[in-house]
Amino acid sequence: MNFPKRVTLELTNHCNLHCVFCPRRFMEKDTGFMDLTLARSLMAEMGRWAREHGPVTVVPFFRGESLTHPHWDILLATLHEFNLGPIQLATNASLLTEERARRLLEIGVDTLSFSMDTLDPDVYRTLRSSDYATSLGNVLRFLEMRTAHREGGGCRVVQVSAVEVESNSEEMDAFVDFWSGLV
């Protein structure tokens, strides 16, 4: 029997943004946060897989913003207890305070992906219903902190992603050029 090499563990389906391209807007379900006991039980099961069949990459997000979970850091740290494999997290960066950034580095998330989409603050506001300067500042501060934290481990891979839509399609080359030297 084949076992998964990658598992999505959605900590929450809640999100603080209302992105125009996100399928969440078509969901009719209530939002909520994964219970710590349930999460630990799922992690233990994944740990058994990993011991028997090799590492499994854990992606602790799907449609929600994981940093809205009141215990996101406990859950991410718990993943390491079970020695599963790499942790890959994505965030919209709007909630990435200095304290949260420090905690992510301490936990040792392997890959962190920031959803940025554009270099234009007005387009960003239209696409993500959020403040571009805040998210950009949070990402840039994280990158500085990561460089300073490098000796102690931290995040091995940082990436920035974009959903290409009509309003940002002409700037994709500039977007890639801007981020290429940083992530």
pLDDT at 94 over 90: yes
CA-CA distance, 85 to 174, in Å (whole number)?
34
- H-type helices in the chain, by residue range? 36-53, 72-81, 98-107, 121-128, 132-149, 172-180
C-alpha pair distances (Å), 109 with each of 47, 57, 88: 17, 11, 7
Count of CA atoms in the C-beta half-sphere (13 A) of 88: 13
pLDDT at 170 over 70: yes
- Measure the CA angle with vertex 27, ends 26 and 31; round to 5°: 140
Scan for tokens 């981020």, then name that residue: 179
Q: Model confidence over 71-83: pLDDT tens digits?
A: 999 999 999 888 8
With residue 59 as reference, give the H or E element that holds it: strand 57-59
Q: Is the pTM of this model over 0.85?
A: yes
pLDDT at 27 over 80: no
pLDDT at 4 over 90: no
What is the rounded average pLDDT of the residues 32-45? 95
> How is residue 129 annotated by DSSP?
S
pLDDT at 152 over 60: no
User: Tell me, what's the pLDDT at 133?
Assistant: 97
pLDDT at 102 over 70: yes
